[in-house]
């Protein structure tokens, strides 16, 4: 029977797997991509990684995510991550919208979702003994700094899209990266400038956790932008995935750490797209350009093509399902939950790889 997962590894990570296998003690960083409902397919894998495997080798670890990835890493930072991932999945599946919801309607639904997800757990998330949680958001510049109407916001994103076609450095003239994160984590590998974006590092606290999670998942033009996050620069905030869709970050800078330096990346696809606006640009893939060494120490696990074929409609749950199923919410919810239940096969195959690594299953990530 074919495996439900595929594994990709960078140069250094492959050498490490060959010598040591995949050990919990060597995992230093866990990124989590934006991507909406696609992230649901990782639920059983997330529950096993954070609920069973990593606790066998306690150490400080950096958890960093954007949009649904930020929400997943918040779930991982609960005192009971298994229950938190279950709650997040259930709440996400149960979203119900009228045929043409307003931005205000969608925003309030997401606020309610996040309240039910983290309400009463803020302190345990922010003060997690070992995990160092970092949430990514985008702060607008120029036309996007404080748009007074939907039409002005649209104009700002049109300008940003054309700028991004030229280069990501030009996109940086339209928005900044904001990292709201655990001040206990020095995050040296991220704080030294590595791309054209201005990056603001702000402390994660109980009074800005909810706002930061909301901003990190605020879809442009579909939701109302977040106008204020405590302990962050004033401005207008949107989805962190616009800049950091799949988190193409300089992970190799942590190489040489005495405690191990692997990046374990549970992902829903087999490639890394830097920004949301880069999705239609196949030449912009992490591991292909001048910064390909950034992925040297990354081990990425994702659903295999054969696994995807077994899912409803032969694909991951995604945001287009809201339109495909329309107001037939029960049918969509049923199919999404069926997909989540199938994620147990990914968990089992990954656990088997950890127990007995088979390098025949490992493909090159950037070499």
What is the arithmetic mean of pLDDT over 60-64? Answer: 97
The pLDDT score that the predictor gives to residue 318 is: 96
Distance CA 342, CA 162 (A): 39
Q: What is the pLDDT of residues 157-175, one digit of tens each?
A: 999 999 999 999 999 999 9
Mean pLDDT for the stretch of residues 102-118? 98
pLDDT for the residue numbered 287 = 83
Supply the pLDDT for residue 92: 98
What pLDDT is recorded for position 20? 95
Nearest Cα residue to 249 out of 296, 283, 213:
296
In this prediction, residue 256 carries a pLDDT of: 57
pLDDT in tens, 15-36: 999 999 999 999 999 999 999 9
Residue whose tokens read 């003994």 = 129
Mean pLDDT is lowest, of 46-50, 94-98, 223-227, 285-289, for 285-289
Q: Which residues pair with 63 in a beta bridge?
A: 30, 133
Quick one: pLDDT at residue 289?
79
Integer-rounded Cα Rg, in Å, for the chain is 19
> pLDDT confidence of 259, banded at 50, 70, 90?
very low
Of 2, 5, 8, the closest CA to residue 365 belongs to 8
Q: What is the mean pLDDT of residues 87-110?
A: 97
Query: What pLDDT, on the 0 to 100 scale, is given for residue 346?
Result: 98
- CA dist list (Å): 258 to 16, 25, 28, 295: 14, 11, 11, 19
Provide the mean pLDDT of the chain: 96
d(CA 253, CA 261): 9
Quote the pLDDT of residue 260: 66
């Amino acid at each position: 029977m074919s495996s439900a997962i595929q594994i990709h590894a960078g140069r250094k990570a492959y050498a490490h797997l060959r010598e040591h296998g995949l050990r919990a003690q060597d995992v230093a960083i866990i990124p989590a991509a934006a991507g909406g409902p696609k992230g649901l397919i990782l639920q059983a894998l997330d529950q096993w990684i954070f609920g069973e495997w990593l606790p066998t080798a306690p150490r400080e670890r950096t958890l960093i995510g954007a949009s649904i990835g930020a929400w997943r890493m918040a779930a991982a930072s609960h005192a009971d991550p298994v229950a938190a991932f279950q709650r997040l999945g259930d709440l996400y599946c149960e979203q119900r919208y009228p045929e043409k919801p307003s931005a205000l309607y969608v925003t309030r639904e997401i606020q309610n979702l996040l309240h039910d997800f983290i309400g009463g757990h803020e302190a345990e998330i922010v003060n997690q003994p070992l995990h160092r949680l970092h949430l990514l958001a985008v702060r607008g510049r120029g036309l996007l700094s404080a748009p007074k109407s939907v039409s002005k916001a649209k104009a700002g994103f049109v300008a940003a899209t054309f700028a991004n076609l030229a280069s990501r450095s030009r996109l940086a003239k339209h928005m900044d990266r904001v990292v709201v994160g655990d001040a206990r984590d020095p995050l040296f590998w991220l704080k030294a400038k590595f791309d054209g974006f201005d990056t603001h590092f702000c402390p994660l606290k109980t009074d800005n956790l909810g706002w930061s999670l909301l901003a990190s998942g605020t879809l442009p033009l579909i939701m109302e932008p977040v106008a204020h996050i405590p302990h962050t620069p004033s401005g207008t905030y949107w989805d962190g995935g616009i800049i950091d869709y799949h988190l193409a970050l300089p992970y190799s800078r942590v190489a040489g750490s005495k405690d191990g330096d692997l990046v374990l990346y549970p992902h829903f696809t087999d490639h890394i797209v830097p920004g949301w606006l880069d999705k239609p640009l196949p030449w912009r893939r992490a591991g292909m350009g001048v910064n390909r060494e950034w992925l040297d120490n990354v081990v990425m696990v994702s659903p295999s093509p054969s696994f995807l074929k077994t899912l409803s409609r032969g694909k991951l749950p995604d945001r287009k399902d809201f339109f495909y199923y329309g107001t037939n919410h029960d049918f969509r919810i049923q199919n999404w939950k069926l997909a989540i239940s199938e994620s147990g096969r990914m968990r089992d195959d990954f656990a088997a790889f950890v127990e007995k690594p088979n390098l025949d299953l490992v493909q090159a990530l950037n070499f």
